[in-house]
Amino acid sequence: MLRLYNTLSNTEEDFHPIEEGAVKFYACGPTVYNYAHIGNFRTFAFKDLLCKYLRYGGYRVTQVMNITDVDDKTIQNARAQGMTLKDYTAKYTEAFLADCKTLRIDPPDIMPRATEHIDEMVALIKTLDAKGFTYRKDGSVYFDIAKFQGYGKLSKADFSGAQTGVRVDADQYDKANSRDFVLWKAPKEGEDFWETEIGPGRPGWHIECSAMSMKYLGETFDIHVGGIDLVFPHHENEIAQSECATGKPFVRYWVHPEFLVVGGDKMSKSLGNISTLRDLLAEGHTPEAVRYLLLSVHYRKQLNFTTDGLRAAQASLQRLEDFVLRAKEKKRSSDGSEAAPSGDFAAEVSAARAKFREAMDADINASAALAAVFDFVHYAYQKDGRGEFGAGEAGAALAFVEEVDSVFCILRAQPELLDEEIAAQIEARQAARKRRDFAEADRIRQWLLDQGIQLEDTREGVRWKRM
């Protein structure tokens, strides 16, 4: 049974979706005003891990992640670059999706863009208007936080003393500045705006997520993920808008990953301490090592990013990849018949699998889950050292590691050799034999075997087949 820490209750809770076997899942997507940094990707890698583990557990997951392509920051930056908002945000949306692909973060099932959902936002604001939760000032529409009893229930802040009628127009602000927040912003000189039934203007950031999540997942859905900095005001405001409009609970489980930090400071553009995925790849790190690092620390603990940490992640991953190669080699050494592992080895695999699941069920304790895998690898190498790691053991070990990797996606896919590459190797082997360099010929044969290519010497010449 999966348990998740719910920010709403401040406790770890058993996970029960509304509909048995199905999970309705929303993640706040990127604000596409620049390249995302690896702090952002910690949050996105986590929501990917959570989705993959839910799917591994047999759930049908509908994942929605929005693209914030209109807000204060996107408008400001597009103007500074002399670009239209559309062209500007298209560029960074594309970059974001490309980076996600590199990091093997699955695309969401539905990816709504804010600018394509203005009608839904207007409709939601009209509902809030009709129910008396809003007021207007200078062409903008504000949410009156004093009208919602539950305001503060997510961030656990006490707003009872908040001054009524004091407003905030910015999308981002802190608790000390809690105010009536803006739902719809009156047009400003040089800013993009839409002509709508509630007047000309553009949406506030918070209403975007309420409108898009409820459109695709319904008025109440299961899981909502976003970085810890989104608890206040973004998610607090999403709850206020959504629950006041529908009269129903908005989200059942609020899940908030902690920050990736650099020497104690949150990685953020404004502090100038960011690394992008592109920076790290240019320095020679692999996407898998970055992904491994982002996932290897429990999501509710801060992850302190250092180059040494990234190197250590690469080394751990290498150990796992070496093991997979060794197991593949052993598996191939069988005569093709399905060998079974010994009883004690099979029991060890089952125990490792149980530990892996137990750790993941305990609020996605990824570090403990990975530790279970590495302990198992250690055991398998010991067996190998004693000559007790045959094709059957190798097969069972591989199946387990591949199962884990279907959730973590950290092992590099081994590219298949092309036919021409194989032909070139065979030619090199023939040449080695001709000059009676049998050691080299054997080395090439073994190398090809390691890549899954088996050679057969026949009277007509060398034949090969993929295994």
Contact partner, 39, from ligand AMP, Zn ion, none, Cβ < 5-8 Å per class: ligand AMP
Q: For the CA atoms of the chain, what is the radius of gyration?
A: 27
Stretch that binds Zn ion, among 8-16, 209-217, 395-403, 407-415 (CB under 5 A): 209-217
Piece in contact with ligand AMP (CB under 6 A), picked from 261-269, 282-290, 309-317, 399-407: 261-269
Q: Which region among 23-31, 213-221, 361-369, 447-455 touches ligand AMP (by CB under 6 A)? A: 23-31
Which of residues 28, 280, 303, 369 is near Zn ion by CB under 5 A?
28
Q: Is 227 in the site for ligand AMP (CB under 6 A)?
A: yes
- DSSP lists the bridge partners of residue 260 as 303
What Å distances lie between residue 166 and 142, 163, 236, 351, 356, CA to CA? 10, 6, 17, 59, 51
Exposure string over 372-408, b if 16+ CB within 10 A, otherwise e:
bbeebbebbeebbeeeebbbbbbbbbbebbeebeebb
Question: Where does 64-204 have alpha helices with state H?
Answer: 72-80, 85-102, 118-130
- Does the footprint of ligand AMP cover residue 112 (CB under 6 A)? no
* Alpha-carbon torsion (361, 362, 367, 369), positive or negative: negative
Burial of 268 from C-beta contacts in 10 A (0-12 / 13-18 / 19+) = middle
226 binds ligand AMP (CB under 6 A): yes
Least spacing, CB of residue 57 vs ligand AMP, in Å? 24
Q: Does 293 contact ligand AMP by CB under 6 A? A: no
Among 266, 300, 355, 433, which residue interacts with ligand AMP (rule: CB under 6 A)? 266
In the bound state with ligand AMP, the residue whose beta carbon lies nearer, of 17 and 39, is: 39
Q: Which does 31 bind (CB under 5 to 8 A by kind): ligand AMP, Zn ion, none?
A: ligand AMP
Find the angle CA(30)-CA(32)-CA(36) to the nearest 5 degrees: 65
Q: Which stretch binds ligand AMP (CB under 6 A): 11-19, 123-131, 225-233, 455-463?
A: 225-233
- Position closest to ligand AMP via CB: 227
251 binds Zn ion (CB under 5 A): no
Choose the stretch contacting Zn ion; rule: CB under 5 A; options: 22-30, 54-62, 71-79, 253-261. 22-30
Q: Could you say which residues in the range 140-169 bind ligand AMP, by CB under 6 A? A: none
The distance of closest approach from Cβ of residue 86 to Zn ion in the complex, given in angstroms and rounded to an integer, is 21
- Between 128 and 225, CB nearer to ligand AMP: 225
| Partner from ligand AMP, Zn ion, none contacting 220, C-beta within 5 to 8 A by type | none
Q: Which amino acid is at 326?
A: R
Phi, psi of 452 (to 5 degrees): 90, 20
Q: Which residues are CB-neighbours of 436 under 8 A, at least 6 positions away?
A: none
209 binding partner (options ligand AMP, Zn ion, none; Cβ < 5 to 8 Å by kind):
Zn ion
Question: Site size for Zn ion, by CB under 5 A?
Answer: 2
Q: Tally the C-alpha atoms within 13 A of residue 149's C-alpha that lie toward its C-beta.
A: 1
Asked if residue 209 binds Zn ion (CB under 5 A), the reply is: yes
Distant-in-sequence, close-in-space partners of 351: CB < 8 Å, separation ≥ 6: none
280 binds ligand AMP per the rule CB under 6 A: no
Pick between residue 235 and residue 383 the one whose CB is nearest to Zn ion.
235
Kindly indicate which of the ranges 107-115, 136-144, 208-216, 287-295 contains the residues binding Zn ion, using the contact rule CB under 5 A.
Answer: 208-216
Cα distances (Å, whole numbers) of residue 73 to 142, 204, 211? 20, 12, 20
Q: How many CB atoms lie within 10 A of CB 251?
A: 25
Pairwise CA distance, residues 354 & 138, whole Å:
61
Tell me if 39 contacts ligand AMP by CB under 6 A: yes
Quick one: 121 or 444, whose CB is closer to Zn ion? Answer: 121
Supply 442's token pair.
């054997």
- Rounded distance, CA 259 to CA 254, Å? 16
Query: Taking CB under 6 A as the rule, does residue 40 contact ligand AMP?
Result: yes
For 246, residues 6+ apart whose C-beta sits below 8 A from its C-beta are 214, 219, 220
429 binds, among ligand AMP, Zn ion, none (CB under 5 to 8 A by kind): none
Q: Tell me which H or E stretch contains 202.
A: strand 202-203
Contact 144, 135 (CB under 8 A): yes
Q: Are 157 and 175 in contact (CB under 8 A)?
A: yes
- Residue 43 interacts with ligand AMP (CB under 6 A)? yes
Write out the residues near Zn ion by the rule CB under 5 A. 28, 209
Q: Which residues bind ligand AMP (CB under 6 A)?
A: 28, 30-31, 39-40, 42-43, 226-227, 229-230, 259-260, 266-268
